[in-house]
Amino acid sequence: EGWGTYSQIRKGKQQDHTLEVKYGKLKVQHIRLEKNEKVKNVSLTLGNEKVTVEVIQQDNAIQISLAQPMILQPGQVLMVQMS
What are 2-38's pLDDT values in tens digits? 999 999 999 999 999 999 999 999 999 999 999 988 9
- Checking if the pLDDT of 68 tops 90, the result is yes
- CA-atom Rg of the chain in angstroms: 13
Rounded Cα–Cα distance for residues 76 and 49 (Å):
11
pLDDT in tens, 38-63: 999 999 999 999 999 999 999 999 99
* pLDDT score of 36: 86
Task: Quote the CA–CA distance of 37 and 66 in Å, as a whole number.
Answer: 23
Res 6: pLDDT? 97
What is the model's pTM? 0.91
**pLDDT value for 60:** 92
In this prediction, residue 1 has a pLDDT band, given cuts at 50, 70 and 90, of confident
